[in-house]
A and B are shown apart, each in its own frame.
Chain A
Amino acid sequence: MMKEKLRVGVIGCGNIFNLAHKHVLKKLENVKVIAFMDIKEERAKQAAKEFNASYYTKLDEFLDLDLDVVEILTPTYTHAELAIKSLKSGKHVIVEKPIALTSEEAEKMIKTAEKESLNLFVGHVRRFDKRWMQIKEVIKTRNILPMQIKKSEFQRLPFPGDYWYWKPDKSGGVAIDLGVHITDFLRWYFESEPIEVFGIGKMIRKEAITNNTYDHFTMIIKFDGGQTGIAEVSWAYPYPARYGVFYHYLDIIGKNGRIKYIPMDTPIIGIVKNQFEMPRFSPMLSTFPDAFEREIKHFLECITKEKEPIVTAYDSKIALEIAEKAINSTKKGEPIKMEPQNPCIKKEVP
């Protein structure tokens, strides 16, 4: 039997915590946030204060606590170590996407979770975003039968050149960081497995060139049902960064119709006060705010009710593998074949 409230601990109190997870954790009634950990004491302290919780800067001390779930919201390169240690100390894990920096690390994480009989969930938040859920639903109900899907996610990364996103050995670059959103999306929509990947990367901004990382990346992914996906990601889009806009472009060509989601055709509510604010409702948001809530609720429910999640760590590992292969492809200059995958498991909408 589970305890009345899930005891949650959070590792990493930076961007994604403050933008998204914090607000959800405050709202959820069956959750008690026990502790925060961050290597920057000030950030952990601030978070702890908001939740009336304790805070730590040492992982061992943090993991000694009696916690049901650990949320890992740290830079990508730390995911594997933190997740494995958390699992080994008996905690379920919810980790931000990408699952890890490499698919080898992802494999170890999955193996550890299996060995410990604990859950490992990865925050593929696109799967919980109403827009993409509804379009997926329309594809089903109208029997669109997608054969080609092009999805672009373009933004201007608003961080300076010494920030971890720009370090390929910390984030994997845009092909990994945003890439896994689309590679997972394509598997989800096609319900089919990738067999071949072609990639072309570019280094456009000086932050990218200095760090030798791609900041604009195009992938063509062929699937075993004859479908083709085009994934395009960019950190170099020349929007003024202060608007924080995020450009989703989705074009689905199916045997029985076509669906387009193009931000220029969809409504935006922008606010200009003494300074520009992020739109409150806009297709220019990377994620609709309630997607994180739906995601975390779903994962917690999978723990309490011992349900299968709609997106597994295994899905996440494949998403990462596709992006890795795309990076290899751009280096090799040729498409790269992918190993046969297990059949895609069809899942219920949460």
Chain B
Amino acid sequence: MIRFGIISYAHPHALRYVPTINNSPTAEVYAISGDGSNSNVAKREAQRFKAKFYENYENLLKDEKVDAVYIAIETYRHKEVAIRAAEEKKHILLEKPIALTLDDADEIIRAARKNDVKLMVPFNPRFTTPLMKVKDMIKAGEIGELEYIYTISEYVKPPIFLEGLDLSWFLDERKAGGGGFMDTAPHGIDSLLWLTESEPKRIYADIGSKIYGFPVDDIGIAVLEFKNGVVAVLNAGWGNPKGYSYGLEIKYHLMGKEGFFDIRTAYPDFTVYQDKAEKIYWERTDVENIVNLFIQSIIQNKDPPITGEDAKKNLAIVLAAYKSSKTRKCIYL
């Protein structure tokens, strides 16, 4: 039985991960700390899951009963918290993006390695059923050689509108590293890396604060050319207005030489129509798969499916996109 410590409810993903961890037959939510934003929510959830509540993560990490941590604190504190977790020999499931900078990512990776703990950063779409099927079909050669991918990786609207949570840090570049593009593009980029089994040769992007007048970017578009010749277009950000009935919008258009996939949503759902239309997900295999694979990597002492190095590679591409947008140049990686 792996005992989890949950560090912070700053990132709303905590609301999805914690129940899943608790439902796992091989894990339990043992302790929760209330660092960062939404500490009131952390405290409430600790009661709900009958978990120990710590005011700060330092005490949680010193608790010897904690085997692993899920870190959902603001991005700018990833480095500090993850390194301390490694030093206390806790395995680490760390929210994306891994850190604000590549140097910070390196330090986290080194700390995990030095202390011999597992480090995983979850990017969800590749753990969804539709995408796993597609990957199998591509590998089986069903659409021939892969040529082009359009990936939509968008969130419904700026997260400050999520009820009951203070997500204002998403609009602070120093804390989040960027805005809508930083928030959502890592998912699409991970899918591209995973589906192409290649790496981008170059990237050109346009990212900006275009819609809502936020101090951070809200939407972005990037075009990537991969070493194996695949061209990909990535649409990311918070481009959907408040009235849009979806939550996440994760969609793909994949074109091979001999066929194409039109993946209308990676997260299967149904719609309830009342005063307004509401999409409800009927299957979210992704979080369950992520939690289970992370636990397996601990129990079986093997690399998790997405390592710190993978997450650093992802961050490098996101940062290259920002650089391209800022310098108005194509960035060669």
**Which residue of A is nearest B205, CB measured?**
A220
Of B40-48, B74-82, B223-231, B301-309, the stretch lying at the interface with chain A is B223-231
Contact of B257 among A196, A204, A226, A228 (CB under 8 A): A204
Of B56-64, B104-112, B236-244, the stretch lying at the interface with chain A is B236-244
Complex: A198 Cα to B241 Cα, angstroms: 28
Of B10-18, B94-102, B124-132, B206-214, the stretch lying at the interface with chain A is B206-214
* B204–A258 touching, CB < 8 Å: no
Mark interface residues in A73-88 (1 if CB within 8 Å of B CB, else 0).
0000000000000000
Which residues on the B side are within 8 Å of A198 (C-beta)?
A: 204, 223, 330
Instruction: Output the least CB separation between B158 and chain A (Å).
Output: 13
* B204–A204 touching, CB < 8 Å: no
Contact of B221 among A152, A220, A236 (CB under 8 A): A220
Is A270 an interface residue when CB atoms closer than 8 A count as contact? no
Complex: A256 Cα to B240 Cα, angstroms: 10
Contact of A218 among B229, B231, B235 (CB under 8 A): B231
* B231–A222 touching, CB < 8 Å: no
Which residues on the A side are within 8 Å of B328 (C-beta)?
A: 196, 222, 335
* B219–A148 touching, CB < 8 Å: yes
* A232–B211 touching, CB < 8 Å: no
Complex: A198 Cα to B240 Cα, angstroms: 25
CB proximity to A under 8 Å, residues B138-183: 143-144, 147-148, 150
* A218–B233 touching, CB < 8 Å: yes
* A264–B147 touching, CB < 8 Å: no
* A238–B221 touching, CB < 8 Å: no
**Which residue of B is nearest A329, CB measured?**
B330
Of B24-32, B115-123, B259-267, B284-292, the stretch lying at the interface with chain A is B259-267
**Which residue of B is nearest A263, CB measured?**
B262
* A200–B262 touching, CB < 8 Å: no
* B329–A216 touching, CB < 8 Å: no
Which residues on the B side are within 8 Å of A264 (C-beta)?
A: 262, 264
Interface of A is mostly: strand
Instruction: Output the least CB separation between A213 and chain B (Å).
Output: 15
Complex: A216 Cα to B240 Cα, angstroms: 28
Which residues on the A side are within 8 Å of B36 (C-beta)?
A: none
Is A230 an interface residue when CB atoms closer than 8 A count as contact? yes
CB proximity to B under 8 Å, residues A187-204: 196, 198, 200, 202, 204
Is A350 an interface residue when CB atoms closer than 8 A count as contact? no
Contact of A220 among B211, B223, B225, B240 (CB under 8 A): B223
Instruction: Output the least CB separation between B12 and chain A (Å).
Output: 22
Complex: A315 Cα to B126 Cα, angstroms: 44
**Which residue of B is nearest A144, CB measured?**
B241
Contact of B229 among A152, A202, A226, A237 (CB under 8 A): A202
Is A333 an interface residue when CB atoms closer than 8 A count as contact? yes
Give the size category of A's interface with B: 20 to 34
* A230–B233 touching, CB < 8 Å: yes
Complex: A108 Cα to B206 Cα, angstroms: 35
Is B279 an interface residue when CB atoms closer than 8 A count as contact? no
Contact of B255 among A148, A237, A255, A334 (CB under 8 A): A237
Which residues on the B side are within 8 Å of A20 (C-beta)?
A: none
* B330–A238 touching, CB < 8 Å: no
Which residues on the B side are within 8 Å of A216 (C-beta)?
A: 147-148, 231
**Which residue of B is nearest A216, CB measured?**
B148
* A255–B211 touching, CB < 8 Å: yes
Is A257 an interface residue when CB atoms closer than 8 A count as contact? yes
Instruction: Output the least CB separation between A331 and chain B (Å).
Output: 12
* B210–A230 touching, CB < 8 Å: no
Which residues on the B side are within 8 Å of A222 (C-beta)?
A: 206, 328
Is B258 an interface residue when CB atoms closer than 8 A count as contact? yes
* B147–A204 touching, CB < 8 Å: yes
**Which residue of A is nearest B221, CB measured?**
A230
Complex: A333 Cα to B255 Cα, angstroms: 23
Contact of A200 among B147, B223, B235, B256 (CB under 8 A): B223
**Which residue of B is nearest A196, CB measured?**
B328
Complex: A62 Cα to B329 Cα, angstroms: 51
CB proximity to A under 8 Å, residues B289-333: 328-330, 332
**3 shortest A-B CB distances, which residue pairs?**
A147-B210, A253-B239, A228-B206
A198-B223, A218-B233, A220-B223 known; 11 new pairs, CB 8 Å cut-off, are A148-B219, A148-B221, A148-B239, A202-B231, A205-B257, A218-B223, A226-B208, A228-B221, A236-B147, A238-B143, A238-B144
Interface residues of B (CB under 8 A from A): 143-144, 147-148, 150, 202, 204, 206, 208, 210-212, 219, 221, 223, 225, 229, 231, 233, 235, 239-241, 243-244, 255-260, 262, 264, 328-330, 332
Interface residues of A (CB under 8 A from B): 147-148, 150, 152, 196, 198, 200, 202, 204-205, 216, 218, 220, 222, 226, 228, 230, 232, 234, 236-238, 251, 253-258, 264, 333-335
16 contacts between A and B (CB under 8 A): A148-B219, A148-B239, A200-B204, A200-B223, A202-B229, A204-B147, A204-B257, A220-B206, A228-B206, A230-B221, A230-B233, A234-B255, A237-B255, A237-B260, A238-B143, A238-B256
